[in-house]
Every structure is written in C-alpha cells, then in structure tokens.
Amino acid sequence: MAKPSAFRILSVLDNRAQKKLLTYLQSKFFSNSKELAPLFKGWQSLKGKPLDKEMIFAKAKPQRKFNKRDWYLLVSRLQAATESFLSIRHFEEDKAQQQLSLLRSLRELQLPAFFERVFRQTKKTAKKEQRAEARHLLWEYQLELEYYDYIASPKRGERTNLQEVTDKLDHFFMAEKLRHACLAHSRWLANQEEYSIRYLDAILADLEDRPELFKVPAIVMYASCYQAIAEGGEEEDFRRLRRVLEHFRDNFPAAEIRDVYLLAINFCIRAMNQGRPEFIAETQALYQESLAGGYLLEDGQLPSSTFTNIVALGLKLENYAGIATFIQTYAKDLPGPERESVVYFNLARLYHAQEEYEASLRAILQVDTKEPFLYLGAKSLQVRIFVELEEWDALDSLLDQLRVYLQRKSDLGYRGDSYRLLLHFCRRLRQLIPGDRAARQQLRSEIVDAPSFAEKEWFLTRVLVDG
C-alpha cells in the first residue's frame, strides 16, 4: 500500500525545511492543533523505517486507542498544514509578491499616505534591480493595476494610469507568447511535440508596426530568439540575437537564459551538421559563456545531451586533452540514472578520435541504456570502428540490429533520419566494387546532397578510400 501523501511530501524535505515545518506546526499563529507537531515528530523518529501507524498515532493522541478514522483525519490535517507551510515559505521568498499584497492591504484599509510611500519605494527598488523577464512584466502590470484601483476608488476624480496598465499587460502577453513560441520550437526539435501558439502572427505584425516595442528587454530577447532560430532566419538575425543575449543576459533568471543559450547552440550544431564549419567557433563561444555563467546546469545538474555536445565540439577541434579534463571534471554533474553510460560513451568517442579502437570498443560495451539517442550514438560509433577496421561480418550484424531498432522507433524526428541515412550509406559503401570510380563519385554526390546527416564528413573520407 502506498504511503499517505502527507508522508511522501515530508520525505522530500531537507533537514532545514523540516525544522521550519516543526516550528510552524508548533506555532499557535499558524496552527490551532496540538496534535500535528507530535504526529510529525513521531514520523521523524522512524528515520526512514517502514511506517508504524499505531506508534505515530500514539504520539499525537496518547489517550486514544488507534482507529483508522481518526488516523486518516490526522494525516489529512497534517497534509493540509504542510501544504500551507510550503505556500507560506514560497511567499516569504518572493519579495515582489509581498509588496503587492502589502499595497492591496493598505488600499483596502484606506491608508493613502502609507500606500503612496510603499508604491514609490517599490517602483524605485524594481528600477534598481533591472529585472527583465516576462514574469516581471506581469508583476509590473499587477503593480500598476493596484495603483489604478487606488486612484479609481470612490471619491477620486483624478486621471488614472489605465494606459500604463494596459501597456504593461500587452508587454507581458507579447513577451510570454514569444517565449512560448521559442520553447515550442525547442520541444519540436527534441521530441517532435507540436504546439499551436495563437496570436503569434498578430504579435509579429505588431512588432513590425511599432519598433518602440523593442525597447522592452523581454520582447527584444524572445523576438530575436524566435526570428533567428524558430523562423530559421539569416545569419544577420543570429548575430542580432548574440548581441541581445550578451547585453541582457544578466537581467534574466538563469533558467530562462539557459533556454535561449541551448536554442542558439542547437542552431549552431545543425548549421555545422549541414556543412557550415564557420559555426564551430560560434558554438565553442556559446558553450564557454554558458558554462562560465552556470546557465547550463538544471537543478545543479548538467544535462546528458549538453555534456555530449560539448565533447563533440572538442573532438571537432581536436582538443583531446581538454575533452579528457572536461569529462573528468563534469562527470559528477551528470544526472544519476544515465551518468555511467554517458561517461563511457563519451570516453569511447575520445578514444576513437585518438585511433585507440580497442579502448573505444571496450568503453562502448559499458554503455547500458534505454535512452534512444545515447544507444544510437554508441552504435553508430561502433559502425565507424568496424568500417575502419574492415570488420565486415561484425558490421553486417550490427547494421541489422540498427535496422530493426529504427523500425521500432518511428518518432525520432530529423535525428532518426540521420541514423537511417547511416544505414543506407553503409549498405551502399559495402556494395562498391574496388576501382569503380563512377560508382564512388555517384555515392559521394548523394552523401553531399543528403540533408541533416551527422556522419557526412566521415563518410566522404571513407568513399575516397580505394577510390
């Protein structure tokens, strides 16, 4: 039987949070029940051991005999109190929302002098902080709305700030829609998820008609990102995004800037895969900036895909010592479940680049994963090694495995197409007759024309062998 929800929530709180929760449960201001703190302390005394309902119940109600009805009522009240504590803790950390609540209270208490003083101080502090994210625009709208309600209250005939209210709402709406459009593009690239972002065409048209909107940092950030990356803009659009990113990145939360950096990096990687080597240096600069700023960490962890892409770039630049150091330094930051497989896969790539084929194959054998792209990446590296060592029987067997796997996985998007091209061109390479220059030239032309083929550069070198 599953644990009650209350105890599942409690089990993920760290020691500091649990101490604060106990203080909360013991406070008469927040809780009028004397039973919840002993109940919580009884749970703590278990220290991870199986749930002992009767023992915990006895801590909370020492004079009562255990019964299920009272037990579930107690647990339900503990869960409600815990959820209230989590809400209050979050509110305590959000100074901006505290200011809005204070203004609302002062307005409702009809204390105009206090209201105006707090309002001025709040705007002054916000201007000094220079926060630029879309959610801050929402807060600015809510702030102006509080002031509107204050001005427009009964017996006040002066002009209102309704224009500021509606402008702030427009700015938030436009910035957040553009941000969602960028995120939708990112989700499409990663998982082929499709989303309909309504009003986007109207927003883009409005931006053309009203260039003053580009004075709003959140709008210029996400409009530049969308136009350069999601719309597949020209190199000039990408350069504008780089300038905007460099200028405003310190004014946005790290999580939002991470999304923009990852989109920009993905754009560069696809450009490299399409045969545009000028984006190698650009990708390196983006990785260096985002690593130095800590933007690539998600909840303190470095995503496996990001780790792998950084290794790929280092291998392109033949910076083998740097990549070995990177793997050793950042391996601990990888997510736990896939950490070992990701490390071995990237070590295999490093050994392969240094032509240490036996070491590479041994590392590949340690890659044990159900994650599709990690599995396919390891197998494609194995394909390259078998070709380079001319292990044709082993290659044929491996290609059959890959063919069956790709038939089962039909939702891999453009990266799945790249692996299917790998199979196709491997078969074609095996069929070449030594000395048949015409056939080799035909295959070379097909490889050059193939879109989104990650192994294009390597394959072209193999076609020239014996040619």
What confidence tens digit (pLDDT) does each residue in 172-222 have? Answer: 999 999 999 999 988 887 777 889 999 999 999 999 999 999 999 999 999
Give dist(CA 15, CA 251) in Å, integer.
Answer: 32
Q: How confident is the model at residue 275 (pLDDT cuts 50, 70, 90)?
A: confident
pLDDT for residue 163 is more than 60:
yes
Residues 167 and 207: beta-carbon distance below 8 Å:
no
* Cα 84 versus chain centre, distance: 28
Structure confidence at residue 164 (pLDDT): 94
Structure confidence at residue 465 (pLDDT): 60
Q: What angle do CA 310, 219, 243 make, to 5 degrees?
A: 45
Residues 75 and 8: beta-carbon distance below 8 Å:
no
Here the tokens at position 378 are 């390891």
Residues 426 and 442: beta-carbon distance below 8 Å:
no
Give dist(CA 98, CA 81) in Å, integer.
Answer: 21
Give dist(CA 281, CA 142) in Å, integer.
Answer: 43
Structure confidence at residue 467 (pLDDT): 45
pLDDT for residue 58 is more than 80:
yes
Query: How many H helices and E strands in the chain?
Result: 23, 0
Here the tokens at position 247 are 């200028």
Give dist(CA 58, CA 42) in Å, integer.
Answer: 9
Residue for token pair 């491996």: 398
Please spell the DSSP secondary structure of 438-466, one letter per residue. HHHHHHHHHHHH-TT-TTHHHHHHHHHTT
HSE, CB side, 13 Å, CA atoms: give it for residue 53. Answer: 15
DSSP state, residue 390: T
Residue for token pair 């203004």: 103
Reference 141, options 205, 96, 90; nearest CA is 96
DSSP state, residue 228: I
Give dist(CA 259, CA 408) in Å, integer.
Answer: 31
Q: Does pTM top 0.95 for this prediction?
A: no
At residue 301, the 3 state secondary structure works out as strand
Structure confidence at residue 464 (pLDDT): 63
Q: How confident is the model at residue 435 (pLDDT cuts 50, 70, 90)?
A: confident
How far lies 450's CA from each of 19, 174, 191, in Å? 60, 38, 22
pLDDT cut 90: percent of the chain above it? 39
Give dist(CA 338, CA 211) in Å, integer.
Answer: 47
pLDDT cut 70: percent of the chain above it? 97
